[in-house]
Amino acid sequence: MNNIIEVKNLCKTINKVDIINDISFSVAKGDILGFLGPNGAGKSTTIKMMLGLVKPTKGKVELCGYNIVDSRAEALSKVGAMVEAPAFYGYMTGYQNLELYADLYGIDKARIEEVLALVHLTDDKNKKVKKYSLGMKQRLGIARAFLNKPEIIILDEPTNGLDPVGIIEIRQIIMKLAETQNVTFIICSHILGEIAAMCNKVIIINKGRIVSYGPVDKLVSEAGCNTLEEYYIKALGIDKIG
């Protein structure tokens, strides 16, 4: 079994509207998968179903070989995630917030310092989170996703609100973890250049369906495109912009 994530025929119907329609894919260990699609395509919904927050109408998800619905705790034990904007208690410091999760996971406090250093928040760890900027909260959210030394990390728009240097730093952290520790990533992003620089595979979804899925280089070159951006526009069937 070399696929660490297995998604089969995932569907979600709300009030008779198919929000997610028959999505299947698999991710091998160490892959960095880019998850692309326009706003409202269903990226976050798919991720919520993969993490067991939202129950699929049909289909199944396996993380590390465990079904997310039947064996939730086992499936999530090796997963770190940040879904949409990260939430924290504003009246607690960054460190105290992470401490809550460290206790829940039963993780050593030293690990908190480690992840804080990883996202360059060590200097601000004793500041109340309500005084953090959007980018700092985003970093803290990423730090929390790394906390339990996960084998799978799922990040929904991780670079939202980060400055250019921050974006590059996060990209480097992600690529380093994938390379050195064989961590598997799924990354949702609107920034195509971002995905092109990091990911080896990509899924493009639109209106709840997979439009294309495969290795980035292969998809782009086979379609006769030069960049992922060009390919993305072609795949979504948009001929011209403006």
Using CB under 5 A, list all residues that contact Mg ion. Answer: 44
**To which residue do tokens 């960054």 refer?**
94
Residue 40 binding partner per list ligand ADP, Mg ion, other proteins, none, with a CB distance cut-off of 5 to 8 Å that depends on partner kind: ligand ADP
User: Segment contacting other proteins (CB under 8 A): 24-32, 52-60, 188-196, 213-221?
Assistant: 52-60
Closest to 161 in 3D by CA, of 141, 175, 143, 182: 141
Minimum CB separation from ligand ADP for residue 56, in Å? 13
Minimum CB separation from Mg ion for residue 200, in Å? 22
DSSP 8-state secondary structure symbol assigned to residue 42: S
Task: Give how many residues touch ligand ADP by CB under 6 A.
Answer: 10
Sites for other proteins among residues 19-48 (CB under 8 A):
48
3 state SS of 126: coil
Sites for other proteins among residues 71-100 (CB under 8 A):
72-73, 76-77, 79, 81, 83-89, 91-92, 96, 100
Q: How far apart are CA 118 and CA 213, in angstroms?
A: 31
Nearest residue (CB) to ligand ADP, 171 versus 209: 209
Residue 104 binding partner per list ligand ADP, Mg ion, other proteins, none, with a CB distance cut-off of 5 to 8 Å that depends on partner kind: other proteins
Find the helix or strand (DSSP H, E) in which 157 lies.
none
Question: Residues 13-42 vs ligand ADP: string with x where CB under 6 A?
Answer: -x----x-----------------x-xxxx
Q: How many residues does the chain have?
A: 242
Sites for ligand ADP among residues 44-103 (CB under 6 A):
44-45
Q: Residue 166 is encoded by which pair of tokens?
A: 């921050």
Q: How far apart are CA 123 and CA 119, in angstroms?
A: 11
Q: How far apart are CA 155 and CA 227, in angstroms?
A: 23
CA-atom Rg of the chain in angstroms: 18
